[in-house]
Structure 1
Amino acid sequence: MDLHTVTDVISAPEPGMWRPGDAWLGGGTALFGEPRPSISRLLDLPSAGWPALTVRDDGVEVAATCTVAELYRGLGEYPIAGQCCHSFLASFKIWNVATVGGNLCSALPAGPMISLCSALGGVCLLIDASGAERSVPVADFVVDDGRTLLRDGELLRSIFLPWAALRGRTAFRRGSLHRHGRSAVLLIGVLGEDGGLELTVTAATRRPWVFRFSAVPSELSTALAAIPPEAWTDDVHGRPVWRAHLTRYFAEQIRVELSA
């Protein structure tokens, strides 16, 4: 969809260039998906030339402009990364354009990069219009369907993923109304080196829910009961009661798998 109100596109922008009416442009697959009459100028982030993946001793830094294809080529050897990449309702064309940062900032419940980064304890690096930085866990970055913690003029620079979680033992479950449909339920379990379990619920809920246990519990239904009725996603891809049922079903499968 054309954005008819846009009059300028700025290459290699700096945070201080932002002004009301601007929008940060990553891959554009979400930005151009619907009318946005309030936008008059685009700040093109890919032209900044950030490295897609930066390997560190303690983990990997994923640039917000890293495409799904680049993430898959760089981290596809880790099962959970590959599984989340394949959870996109998208063709290979989208894989080569859509960005990890764009998926997070769109904050759609079915966003698989939200699932991946939340489950792995990812941390967002945010930069405001003055150049000041702050770090926010991905699980807290998305606050509701279509809403994040981003402030006016603030941009998502990167997401840090620790090796400990990325290389850990994981279990993945995904459900949809159709074989190749949008994710209605997506759960990831990560077993820590200390035997602790982290269970992340996404797609079924309007924001990520992360449950942490010091050891694999004997049951998960009590913990999952903490998700309130209004937190479940309700749209054409699945009703809340079905999503909640499938969440409990998948959670038990993950519990059994990771306790083996």
Structure 2
Amino acid sequence: MDLNTVVDILDARRRPAWRPGDAWLGGGTYLFSEPQPQIRRLIDLGSMGWPALTAHPDGSLEIAATCTIAELYRYGRSSTAPAAPLFGQCCRAFLASFKIWNMATVGGNLCNGLPAGPMISLTAALDGVCRLRGQDGSVRSLPVADFVLGAGLKDLRPGELLRSVTLPGAALGRRTAFRQASLYGLGRSGVLVIGTLDPRDGSFGLTVTAATVRPYRLWFPAPPTRRRLAVALDDAVPDGAWFDDIHGLPAWRRHMAFHLSEQLRRELTTKDMP
């Protein structure tokens, strides 16, 4: 789609002064998908030259905001980390063509803040931490689970840039399990639930997205019983946080989140628990 209100496209390397009507341009798959009448200038990040993926000596993985879905998928295919299969599962949750995969960015998906954003699901489930850069050069860090505040709402200050998301090495060493549900065979995610089990200490994590307006991350020092998991999920997600749109009613999303969470608990628990 042509954005007929845009009057200028600027190179981000020149660090132009931010002003109302500016927008960061990564892959542009969302920006050019619908009218953006408020935008006057696009600041293009494509020339920044950030490495898509950087493995650090401490075992952590830094994912640049400009990393494409295709690049992330290829990394998941080549990695031997126990959590690596989750990369491909979340990439495929886009249900997008190869053209989108080669343009859409991890940062763009996070900054849209949409409930069905699978990069939000992936990075929240693996304890991702956002690195945010302000217009004054200041840098702050924020967990992905706290970065997305609601449907389309993010903790982003005017002109602030999402530079990267870092996944801790410990999170990449966890076993993972993935469940997704949609009202349609090839429809947008109505529910996306990810479970993790840490082989070092036996801790269990559960992340609910798509069904809720923002990510909800639960952690247990040991695998919970069926009842404890259900009670914890009920306590964690308030009634008004179940998302409501054409892709699923709140009651259905809540039911499926509980149902799929129990499946993940059983899959990741070595012995069945009551």
Do they fold alike, i.e. is TM over 0.5? yes
> Whole-Å Cα distance in 2 between the matches of residues 184 and 256 of structure 1?
22
User: 8 Å contact 2:10–2:16 — kept in the other structure?
Assistant: no
Q: Residue type of the partner of 2:11?
A: S
Distance 1:99 1:252, change over 3 A: same
> Whole-Å Cα distance in 2 between the matches of residues 68 and 28 of structure 1?
13
Whether 2:78 is the aligned partner of 1:72: answer: no
Q: Which residue of 2 aligns with 1:117?
A: 123
> Whole-Å Cα distance in 1 between the matches of residues 54 and 259 of structure 2?
37
1:93-118 deviation per Cα after TM superposition (whole angstroms, max 9, x unaligned) = 10000000000000110000000000
User: 8 Å contact 1:10–1:43 — kept in the other structure?
Assistant: yes
2:219 to 208, 212, 223: 212
1:225 to 219, 226, 234: 234
2:251 to 241, 245, 249: 241
- Give me the identity figure in percent: 60
1:165-194 deviation per Cα after TM superposition (whole angstroms, max 9, x unaligned) = 123101111001112111000000111121
> Whole-Å Cα distance in 2 between the matches of residues 195 and 172 of structure 1?
18
Aligned pairs (5 A) from 1:53-202? 53-58=53-58, 59-76=60-77, 77=79, 78-192=84-198, 193-202=200-209
> Whole-Å Cα distance in 2 between the matches of residues 126 and 7 of structure 1?
27
Q: Residue type of the partner of 1:225?
A: D
Structure 1, gaps ≥5 residues long: none
Structure 2, gaps ≥5 residues long: none
Q: Residue type of the partner of 1:25?
A: L
Q: Which residue of 2 aligns with 1:24?
A: 24
> Whole-Å Cα distance in 1 between the matches of residues 253 and 212 of structure 2?
8
Shift of 1:75: 2.4
Distance 1:214 1:37, change over 3 A: same
Q: Which residue of 2 aligns with 1:7?
A: 7
> Whole-Å Cα distance in 1 between the matches of residues 3 and 221 of structure 2?
49
> Whole-Å Cα distance in 2 between the matches of residues 228 and 32 of structure 1?
34
Give 3-state SS (helix, strand or coil) of 1:171's partner: strand
Give 3-state SS (helix, strand or coil) of 1:47's partner: coil
Shift of 1:17: 2.8
Aligned pairs (5 A) from 1:21-60? 21-58=21-58, 59-60=60-61
More displaced 10-residue stretch of structure 1: 93-102 or 71-80: 71-80
> Whole-Å Cα distance in 2 between the matches of residues 150 and 14 of structure 1?
21
Shift of 1:33: 1.9
TM-score (norm 2): 0.92
Give 3-state SS (helix, strand or coil) of 1:234's partner: coil
Give 3-state SS (helix, strand or coil) of 2:32's partner: helix
User: 8 Å contact 2:181–2:192 — kept in the other structure?
Assistant: yes
